[in-house]
Amino acid sequence: MLDQDPEHAEAQQALADLLIDRAGGPEAGVQLEMTPELTQAESLLEYLIVVEPVTIAARWSLGRLLARQGRYAEAIPHFEEILKIAPDEYRAHLFLGGLFRHTGDSEAAAEAFRRYARQEQARRLQATARKESEELAKKIFGSIQ
């Protein structure tokens, strides 16, 4: 196993993701049972979060791993923390909605899905506005090199 050294964080993240993928593939619908490999992946991800608290990748991986093991309540704080660290990670709202639904909190699920829908719509509008602005600039100024 890789040394638990912050300099190797990227490699440890890759190893954890590989262990998760080998255990059941990246498909979200596949329920994962606890295995030694997944225990190792979970430990690696928890270590990375302690070493680098603002890491988003490790939180995504750990949250998804916990959810795929049916540990929904344990996964929720990781996605909430992602949104604190990076509010633009709007897809975390979608995951939270599903997690809250699985834990029986329908109000929190509905709110998370609403936030996802609002941010997704805003993202699409921004992309459309950017594209239209670029096209208009090309018409006015010609091709910019």
- Count CB neighbours of 69 within 10 A: 18
Residue 74: which of 36, 27, 106, 42 has the closest Cα? 42
Distance CA 39, CA 143 (A): 54
Angle, helices 72-85/91-103, rounded to nearest 10 degrees: 150
Residues 97 and 134 in one domain: yes
Question: Could you tell me if 71 and 102 lie in one domain?
Answer: no
Regarding whether 51 and 6 lie in a shared domain, the answer is yes
Of 5-9, 68-72, 88-92, 93-97, the poorest mean pLDDT is in 5-9
Question: What percent of the chain has pLDDT above 90?
Answer: 49
Please provide the average confidence, as pLDDT, over all residues in the chain: 85
pLDDT of residue 143: 63
Q: For the residues of 54-80, what is the DSSP string, one character each?
A: T-SHHHHHHHHHHHHTT-HHHHHHHHH
pLDDT at 13: 80
Statement to judge: residues 114 and 95 lie in one domain: yes
Range of the domain at 118: 90-145
13 and 73 in a common domain:
yes
Q: Which of 53, 73, 89 is the last residue of a domain?
A: 89
Question: Tens of pLDDT along 37-66?
Answer: 888 989 999 999 999 999 899 999 999 999
Residue 121: CA count within 13 A, CB half-sphere: 6
**Are residues 98 and 83 both part of a single domain?**
no
- Same domain? For 17 and 67 the reply is yes
Distance CA 140, CA 145 (A): 14
